[in-house]
Amino acid sequence: MIGTGIGNLAAGIYLIRDGGFKGEQITMMGLETHGANDGDTVKAYENEYSNQALSNNKGFLAKGGRMLNEETYENLWDLLRSVPSLDNPGQTVTDDILNFDHAHPTHDVGRLIDHNGPRIHGDKNDYKHMQFNNKDRFLLSKLMLTPEKDEEKLNNISIAEYFASSPHFFTTNFWSMWQTTFAFKRASSAMELRRYMNRMILEFSRINTLEGVTRTPYNQYESIILPMRKYLEDRGVTFINNRKVVDLEFKDTPLRDDIIVTKIKYEEVDNDNKAGEIEVDENDFVFDTNGSVTDSSSIGDFNTPVKENMEYAPSAALWKKAAEKFYSLGNPDKFFDDRTQSEWMSFTVTTNNHFLLNEICRITQQEPGNALNTWIESTPLMSIVVHHQPHFKAQKPNESVFWGYFMYPRRNGDYVQKPIIEMTGEEMLEEFLGHLAAVDPAKDNVRNHKQEIMDSIVNVIPVHLPYASALFNQRAVGDRPDVVPKHSKNLAFISQFCEMPFDMVFTEQYSFRAAQRAVYTFLGIPLSEMTKMHHYEKDPKVMARATKTMFR
């Protein structure tokens, strides 16, 4: 296993649960233990960011947050029913999450916020209205109804290009909500938007409240990753967390068609990059994480802006070397060679009391745990997420933690006149407080208590993620390799950058399903026995609600 993210963790469990493997037959190699499902104290990231001198290693960090979905994450719920809870003996991780979510259901009130405050005024700007015109409806319906066999008609077409004849689409409440819920940009792939509209059509009619969002009791690292690692470690799986795989060697076959890995080359990063290699037996399988949305990220703190990491994504660099040898392994540059399509910045705020959290709740008119608030008039497009507290097990009773993100980090702030990417954590907080105060119905309650707020700050951690939305970059059919490529005898790809029919990327579901597909393919288990997926786009009741929503 190259990479220790959620996809390979899932593959390891599938090998053991469905394939009869013993844990000692599995070795997982990687550099970071957090991946995209992260969340921990800042100190826990010191090894990952050891090359950056930070003035403050206090507080908590979540580069982002993942929204689960009970109805469409079929593989995730099925597999996590096999993983014991770390917190509740006798329960599974699936039990933990769904029990928590059902006890704390999401109902977003302040989903969109403009200069008047949350859009809940009952007029035409009320965020329950999609605000489509007939041209918008026609184009969106046409996109959704494009058959899968005709996906290539959307090759390399951006959402902006697809809706070029109806620019009104980008002024609607729907677009404001959709782009910030799923992290699409106008430059993103229309092909991927088509998949989302089909796979998530059940959520279309409740996009304004995000009632379909399933939340974990704590951050995803503690609620999902750690139990999965414990399951594997208890069964003898070997984890090597200091190893960077830099190349693969392949067998030179007569027709140069068969893909057979014969050697894995690596460096030990905490041992002066000492080189090593692993001979791959003809009966071995190699599972590669061919791309990660958190690769090449860079971190700052309250007093320190990020120093942009210009490195080509390491996981994709390995994929690129393999793709240069075999024509069927896709085109990683489509996803990792244009940061303008994919970058955004997040910031995590830790406070030593709940004053700021209470002000946020008062102004957005919702309690912690109710999903996402977007300031739609902010120039760099700012959103925040306030999770149910505590979001970290190590969080003290007096501490609050929330995170936010800017989708356009090269743009200037509205209250701090410099590009977001150049801001310290303190300046990002200033930018956020400016927007919060601007819609404060208590007439400057936030401004009048600004010193009290600043005194409560433990840290504000900015993170630049150059590839956060890379999986939505414009692409063509064939740019992503199959999970098990044609003619591959022992190499599989498990990530958000492999190709599977129908399902949608930027979800744990996609990684889990790719893992199941890889394991079942290699072990000869019929793919017809894979976890069954729902097709709500074929459900008449769901489609009737969606049609009604189009005119709402």
What is the DSSP annotation of 306-362?
-----PPPHHHHHHHHHHTT-GGG--THHHHS-HHHH-EEEEEEEESSSHHHHHHHH
Cβ neighbors of 448 (< 8 A, separation 6 or more) are: none
**Would you call 196 a catalytic residue per the annotation?**
yes
Rg value, the chain, Cα: 23
DSSP, collapsed to helix, strand or coil, labels residue 169 as helix
Whole-Å CA distances, 101 to 95, 350, 353: 10, 24, 25
Contact 506, 472 (CB under 8 A): yes
Structure tokens that stand for 390 in this block? 């505590």
Which is nearest to 287 in space by CA: 477, 79, 517, 66? 517
Whole-number Å distance between alpha carbons of 419 and 398: 33
> Sign (positive/negative) of CA torsion 384, 385, 391, 392?
negative
Counting every residue written for the chain, the total comes to 552
Whole-number Å distance between alpha carbons of 297 and 291: 13
Which is nearest to 542 in space by CA: 209, 182, 210, 199? 199
Contact 472, 505 (CB under 8 A): yes
Alpha-carbon torsion angle 402, 405, 411, 414, nearest 10: -30
CA end-to-end span of the chain, whole Å? 48
What does the DSSP 8-state code read for residue 460?
Answer: E
Whole-Å CA distances, 257 to 344, 391, 489, 498: 39, 49, 11, 19
Is the bond preceding 466 in cis, omega lying within 30 degrees of 0?
no
Whole-Å CA distances, 479 to 98, 155, 336, 352: 36, 10, 12, 47
Which is nearest to 208 in space by CA: 90, 337, 106, 304? 106
Whole-number Å distance between alpha carbons of 116 and 95: 41
Catalytic choice (49, 73, 196, 218):
196
Q: What share of the chain is helix, strand, coil (3-state, %, to 5)?
A: 35, 15, 45
Contact 420, 346 (CB under 8 A): no
Whole-number Å distance between alpha carbons of 206 and 210: 6
Contact 404, 383 (CB under 8 A): yes
Q: Which residues pair with 45 in a beta bridge?
A: none
Please provide residue 144's backbone torsions phi and psi, each rounded to the nearest 5 degrees: -65, -35
AA letter at 432: F
Q: What residues are labeled active site?
A: 196
